[in-house]
C-alpha cells in the first residue's frame, strides 16, 4: 500500500538516451507515485472487511453449520437473538462478500490493464497461484469458509477479460449474475425434492461430535481435521458459485474501465445518484432473506416461494445493496475526508486488507479454540467477539501502516511473487498526499496516463493491501 521499490534491478540509463514515444513504449513493472493512491478505496475495503467478520462469526463460533448440512434447525437463539440474526441476514449476509468481490475486480482491472508483456502475465499468474495456496492453508488451519481460494482461481479467469471495454464487462457481469440466480433457484428446487440420505446424516453427526471434542480439548490436529472436512464441502459450493463471483469482479472491472475509479471526485454526483437508487432498492430486494434464512432454507421450513425469493435475494439483491453501500461510503469519504477518526482507521485497515482478513480468522480461532468458547456463546456473545476483533484490527492497522510498507502477509506475498525479499520498513517519500485524503478534495486518484508503467503488484486483488505511507504518514499508493 505505499510507494514500492522496483522489484527488479534497473540498469543505469545511457548517457544520451534516445527519445521514446510514451504511448508506444512497452510497460514494465515499476513503482507508481503515491499521488496515484486513492484512500477512499481503502476506506471501502476496510469497511467491507469488518462486515465480513460480522457474517463469518456464525460459521466460526460453533457447530451450527453441521445442523444445516444435516437439514436440522440449530438451537434457537431466543426472540432477541432471532431479531439480530434476521437483521444480519437482511443487511449483511452476502452484501459484504459482494462488496469485497467488486473491489477485487476493481483492483484486478487496475493491475491487469497494464500487464501487457509475457513477464507481467507470469507475475500475475504467480500471484494468483500464491493466493490459491494461501486460501488452502487458511481454510484448513483457520477458517473453512475461506474466500481467497476461489478469488485466486477467479484471478486466472479474469485475465481473459483484461482488454474488454466497460460496457462489455458490465454486460458480462449482468449475464453471469442472472445465470447464477437462475442456477441457484434450480438447485434450491432440486434440493427440496431430494430425499434425506441416512449415511450422510450419520457422517455429519459423527463429524460434529469430533469437532466439538476437538475444540473442547484444544486438539490442534482435531480442529484441523474438522476444518478440512468442512472446507471440502463449503469450497465445493463456492467453486460452483464461481460465475457469481466472476460477475461481481466484472462489475468492479467495469467501474474501473468507465473511469469512475480513476476520478472518484469527478463522479461524485453519479455515486450519489447510484446510492439513492441502489440502497432502497437493495433493501427491498433483500427482505426475503429475513424469512429465507440459512436455517429455514436448510431445514425446508421455508415455503417454496420463500425459498425461491431467498435465492434471488442472495444472488441478485445482495450485489445491488453492496453497490449501494460502496457508493454511499465513497461519497462520505470524498465529502468528509479519510484522514481523521474512524475513517482513518478504516483506510489503514484497507491498506492491509489481506493481513486483516487472515488476522480476523486468527483472532476468532484464539477466542473459540484457544479460550474454548466454541459452541458456548449465544448471539450476543458472538457479537462481543466480533466487537473485540474489530477493536484489535482498528487499533493495530494504523500502528502497523505508520511503520511498515506492507502488511505482514502482503510482504510475504509480494516477496514470493517477485522471488526476492522486499524491503519492509517504511522509507521517506517526497511525494504528496492524494487530494481525497482531506476534506473537500478535488480530482481524486488521477488516472494513469498513456504509456505510463505501473507496478503490477501495487494494486492487488484485495485492494491496496500491502502498501505503506510516505514519510509524513500520509498514504502512499497502490492496490481482498
Given a contact cutoff of 8 angstroms between Cβ atoms, the answer to whether 407 and 424 are in contact is no
Banded pLDDT at 67 (limits 50, 70, 90): confident
- pLDDT tens digits for range 268-321: 999 999 999 999 999 999 999 888 777 666 666 777 888 888 889 999 999 999
Task: Please report the pLDDT score of residue 417 as a whole number.
Answer: 86
Percent of the chain with pLDDT over 90: 52
Q: Select from 374, 60, 69, 64 the least CA-distant residue to 203.
A: 69
| Residue-averaged pLDDT of the chain | 80
Measuring CA to CA, how many Å separate 349 from each of 21, 133, 197, 299, 463?
A: 39, 23, 44, 38, 11
Closest CA to 378 of 6, 155, 64: 64
Q: Taking residues 230-247, report their average pLDDT.
A: 91
Residue 52 has phi, psi (to 5 degrees) of -65, -40
Yes or no: say if 227 and 66 are a contact pair by the CB < 8 Å rule. no
Helix then strand count (H, E) for the chain reads 19, 0
> For 402-454, what is the HEC assignment?
CCECCCHHHHHHHHHHHCCCCCCECCCCCCCCCHHHCCCCCCCCCCCCCCCCC
* In the predicted structure, residue 462 carries a pLDDT above the cut 80: no
Question: pLDDT confidence of 116, banded at 50, 70, 90?
Answer: low
Lowest mean pLDDT among 83-87, 120-124, 378-382: 120-124
Is the pLDDT assigned to residue 216 strictly greater than 70?
yes
Q: What residue has cell string 449476509?
A: 93
**What is the grid cell recorded at 381?**
456473545
Q: pLDDT by residue (tens digit) across 329-338?
A: 999 999 999 9
Judge contact between 388 and 367, C-beta under 8 A. Answer: yes
Point out the least confidently predicted range of 19-28, 43-52, 177-186, 380-389: 19-28
Amino acid at each position: 500500500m505505499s510507494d514500492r521499490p522496483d522489484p527488479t534491478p534497473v540498469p543505469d540509463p545511457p548517457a544520451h538516451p534516445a527519445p521514446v514515444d510514451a504511448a508506444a513504449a512497452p510497460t514494465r513493472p515499476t513503482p507508481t507515485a503515491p499521488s496515484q493512491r486513492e484512500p477512499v478505496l481503502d476506506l471501502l475495503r476496510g469497511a467491507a472487511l469488518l462486515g465480513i467478520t460480522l457474517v463469518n462469526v456464525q460459521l466460526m463460533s460453533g457447530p451450527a453449520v453441521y445442523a444445516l448440512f444435516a437439514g436440522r434447525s440449530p438451537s434457537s437463539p431466543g426472540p432477541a437473538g432471532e431479531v439480530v440474526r434476521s437483521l444480519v441476514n437482511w443487511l449483511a449476509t452476502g452484501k459484504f462478500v459482494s462488496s469485497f468481490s467488486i473491489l477485487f475486480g476493481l483492483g484486478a482491472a487496475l493491475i491487469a490493464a497494464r500487464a501487457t508483456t509475457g513477464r507481467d502475465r507470469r507475475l500475475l499468474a504467480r500471484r494468483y497461484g500464491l493466493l490459491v495456496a494461501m486460501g488452502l492453508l487458511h481454510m484448513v488451519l483457520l477458517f473453512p469458509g475461506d474466500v481467497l481460494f476461489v478469488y485466486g482461481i477467479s484471478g486466472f479467469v479474469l485475465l481473459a477479460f483484461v482488454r474488454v471495454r466497460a460496457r462489455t464487462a458490465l454486460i458480462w457481469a449482468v449475464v453471469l449474475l442472472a445465470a447464477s440466480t437462475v442456477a441457484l433457484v434450480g438447485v434450491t428446487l432440486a434440493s427440496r425434492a431430494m430425499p434425506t440420505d441416512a449415511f450422510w446424516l450419520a457422517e455429519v453427526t459423527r463429524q460434529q461430535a469430533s469437532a466439538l471434542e476437538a475444540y473442547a480439548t484444544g486438539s490442534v490436529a482435531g480442529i484441523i481435521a474438522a476444518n478440512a472436512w468442512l472446507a471440502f464441502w463449503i469450497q465445493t459450493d463456492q467453486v460452483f458459485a464461481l460465475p457469481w463471483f466472476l460477475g461481481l469482479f466484472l462489475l468492479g472491472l467495469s467501474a474501473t474501465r468507465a473511469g469512475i475509479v480513476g476520478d472518484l471526485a469527478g463522479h461524485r454526483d453519479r455515486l450519489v445518484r447510484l446510492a439513492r437508487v441502489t440502497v432502497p432498492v437493495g433493501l427491498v430486494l433483500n427482505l426475503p432473506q429475513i424469512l429465507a434464512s440459512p436455517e429455514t432454507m436448510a431445514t425446508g421450513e421455508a415455503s417454496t416461494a420463500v425459498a425461491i425469493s431467498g435465492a434471488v435475494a442472495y444472488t441478485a439483491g445482495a450485489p445491488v445493496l453492496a453497490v449501494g453501500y460502496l457508493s454511499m461510503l465513497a461519497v462520505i469519504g470524498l465529502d468528509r475526508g479519510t484522514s481523521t477518526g474512524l475513517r482513518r482507521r478504516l483506510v489503514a485497515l484497507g491498506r492491509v486488507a489481506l493481513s486483516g482478513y487472515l488476522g480476523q480468522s486468527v483472532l476468532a480461532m484464539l477466542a473459540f479454540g484457544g479460550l474454548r468458547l466454541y459452541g458456548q456463546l449465544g448471539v450476543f456473545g458472538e457479537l462481543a467477539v466480533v466487537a473485540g476483533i474489530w477493536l484489535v484490527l482498528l487499533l493495530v492497522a494504523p500502528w502497523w501502516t505508520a511503520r511498515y510498507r506492507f502488511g505482514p502477509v502482503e510482504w510475504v506475498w509480494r516477496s514470493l511473487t517477485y522471488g526476492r525479499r522486499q524491503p519492509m520498513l517504511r522509507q521517506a517519500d517526497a511525494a504528496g498526499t492524494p487530494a481525497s485524503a482531506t476534506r473537500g478534495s478535488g480530482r481524486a486518484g488521477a488516472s494513469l496516463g498513456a504509456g505510463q508503467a505501473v507496478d503490477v503488484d501495487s494494486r492487488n486483488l484485495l485492494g491496496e493491501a500491502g502498501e505503506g505511507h510516505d514519510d509524513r504518514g500520509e498514504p502512499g499508493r497502490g492496490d481482498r
